[in-house]
Amino acid sequence: MKLSVTLAIILSGFTCITAAPQKPNILLIMADDVGCEPIGTYGGERWKTPHIDALARGGMRFDYCYSMPVCHPTRICLMTGKYPFRLNSKWGTFPRVEEKNNIAQVLKRAGYNTAVAGKWQLSLMKKDLKQPARMGFDNWSVFGWHEGARFHEPMIYQDGHLRTDTGGRYGPDLYVKFLGEFIRKSADERKPFFAYYSMALAHDVTDDIPTQVPYVPGKDRWMDYGEMIESMDAMIGKVVARLDKMNLRQNTIILFTGDNGTARRSKLRHIKERKYEYEDVYSIRNGQRVPGGKGTLLDIGTNVPLIANWPGHIKAGSWNDSLVDFSDWLPTLAEIGGAKMDHEIDGTSFAPVLLDPRKPGARSFAYSESRSGKAWVRTHNYKLYNNGNFFNMAKDLGEKNAMRPGREEPGDVGHTRKQLEQAFESLGRKVRY
């Protein structure tokens, strides 16, 4: 689909509460391995997430946002607005041809200062120190993916150089401090900013480096999943507090999401070589025990939080049932930032519904895929896989009983199946029964 965003469209669309600034600041926060069920506002009861819950109370919550089931495909989809099957990008890489048209480049061309902090995972940084700059980031502070620690005494590459001052320090604190300095610099320059806070939390430590990364100071283990969730929430609180202190909240839209479902287990201790002690991860959501689903195409692997907060512009305490998938981030942020785009993407902007929840979402189906080539398209209540499996999600959330075409399907259900088959066809993919 061809997307062209103009300032006139932006201003005409942002009229729900207060006319929006032409170029608001944008803070995109993406948690790592965090589905909906650990978050209080989504019914999570096992851990406390007061700062995220406050963003939801003061803004808008979406219930139908879908990622890919694992991190790398989600991240390239977010950056490019294109589904992973179109990019053929190997694990931990980013296609060179897309570097000029990703989110940072699009917003940079629209006049934004741009920065990323936390998880990168689009290259081995030591082999490509300038990749973030080529992709449009003015500043970056990211941990060495599969190179070293991300939490305690982290291995951080900042603006093309390896930091040497991280001994005894906690990575998430350093990423937040870096973002605060970037925000201050942008404010001093009187330029809008795009800050992509790609969180290290709540993913466990890496398992494929020769030297094991440090444990929690004073403990004989790494953080457990619950400790990481609560630290994640605390870090978000620090960033928001910084914006409040600088009187930037009225002109800053904050968006919070996750890159895939909650992890199924998390490393606690190193035993020997590449052997570890793990904890099984589960959440309590609305009184029900929910296991982690990362890596699966079930809802517990792909249904992720999406919260949007912008005082005076997004209605406090609002809820939206629009379908969103990760190809939508690029066109949405482009529209918010008044950026022009003229290249083909898969995404559809959900910016209009942020400022007027009465507007219908533009997307008729959401899409997700796994590395094995398995994929689905879905509406709110029905999901069709490319192998022909078709599920009524309102009645079969665990996808135990696929419906066969024919007698089992009333006319409206059969019509939905046909629409989803056509959705696959529109993507150039086929359903094979």
Which pair of structure tokens corresponds to residue 170? 């906690």
| C-alpha span between 229 and 339 (Å, rounded) | 34
- Burial pattern 138-152, b for ≥16 Cβ within 10 A else e, equals bbbbbbbbebbbbbb
pLDDT of amino acid 6: 32
CA 183 to chain centre: 21
| C-alpha span between 314 and 62 (Å, rounded) | 13
Query: In this predicted model, what pLDDT tens digit does every residue of 70-79 receive, in sequence order?
Result: 999 999 999 9
Residues with Cβ within 8 Å of residue 256, at least 6 apart in sequence: 29, 30, 31, 52, 55, 236, 305, 306, 307, 308, 309
Query: In this predicted model, what pLDDT tens digit does every residue of 112-153 receive, in sequence order?
Result: 999 999 999 999 888 999 999 999 999 999 998 789 999 999
Query: In this predicted model, what pLDDT tens digit does every residue of 388-408 receive, in sequence order?
Result: 999 999 999 999 999 987 666
Which pair of structure tokens corresponds to residue 33? 């391995």
Query: In this predicted model, what pLDDT tens digit does every residue of 225-251 receive, in sequence order?
Result: 999 999 999 999 999 999 999 999 999
CATH code at 7-358: 3.40.720.10
Residue 15's pLDDT band, with cuts at 50, 70 and 90, is: very low
CA-to-CA dists, residue 319 to 59, 312, 357, 379, angstroms: 8, 16, 7, 18
Q: CATH 3.40.720.10 occupies which residues in the chain?
A: 7-358
In this structure, the chain runs to a length of 433
Mean pLDDT computed over 284-293: 97
Residues with Cβ within 8 Å of residue 308, at least 6 apart in sequence: 59, 60, 62, 253, 254, 255, 256, 314, 354
How does strand 252-258 pair with strand 303-309?
A: antiparallel
